[in-house]
């Protein structure tokens, strides 16, 4: 898979077309997206967000990209990382775009009181009425970390 270099984000940073495309159409594509283009399907936990924001600030980098559905731009994994980067003044975020229709990706409820499905995750993200924090858990093949300096993400 072709990858975008960490030091030079693609010029069309808000569009999925700017991502490095995988040849089979299902494999994750890595690149940088505008934080403002992404939709969350879950709220964040204030205490954990503050802790993570400080950790990222001290490290000077984001270690793991978030995971986003390439069709809807709904965040599947990484709500707290995205919110932390916003608080740190970043406009870009390292992202793996995945095809959420891929059967290798599943979603499980993290809470017994709220059922989730792939369809409800996307609908919730698109509706602007997110689930409570940590409602869903996505299971997908392991993706490598790609440490990225905060300077790169401040656009």
Tell me which residues are annotated as active site. Answer: 42
Partners of 97 in the β-ladder: 29, 68
| CA gap 121, 4 in Å, rounded | 28
Ordered strands of the 66-69 beta sheet: 29-34, 92-98, 66-69, 75-77
Tokens (6 digits) for 101? 């229709």
Q: Phi, psi (5° rounding) for residue 81?
A: -65, -45
Q: Is 91 exposed, middle or buried (0-12, 13-18, 19+ CB in 10 A)?
A: middle
Q: Helix (H, G, I), strand (E, B), or coil: what is residue 99? A: coil
| CA gap 119, 57 in Å, rounded | 35
């Amino acid at each position: 898979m072709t990858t975008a270099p960490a030091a030079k984000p693609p010029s069309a940073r808000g569009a999925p077309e700017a991502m490095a495309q995988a040849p089979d159409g299902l494999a994750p594509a890595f690149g940088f997206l505008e934080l403002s283009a992404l939709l969350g399907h879950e709220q964040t936990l204030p205490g954990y967000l503050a802790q993570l924001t400080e950790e990222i600030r001290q490290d000077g980098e984001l270690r793991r990209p978030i995971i986003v559905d390439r069709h809807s731009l709904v965040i599947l994994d990484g709500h707290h990382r995205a919110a932390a980067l916003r608080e740190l003044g970043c406009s870009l975020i390292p992202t793996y775009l995945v095809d959420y229709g891929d059967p290798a990706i599943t979603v499980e409820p993290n809470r017994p009181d709220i059922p989730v499905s792939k369809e409800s995750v996307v609908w919730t993200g698109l509706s602007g009425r997110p689930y409570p924090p940590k409602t869903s858990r996505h299971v997908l093949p392991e993706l490598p970390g790609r440490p990225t300096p905060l300077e790169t993400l401040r656009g």
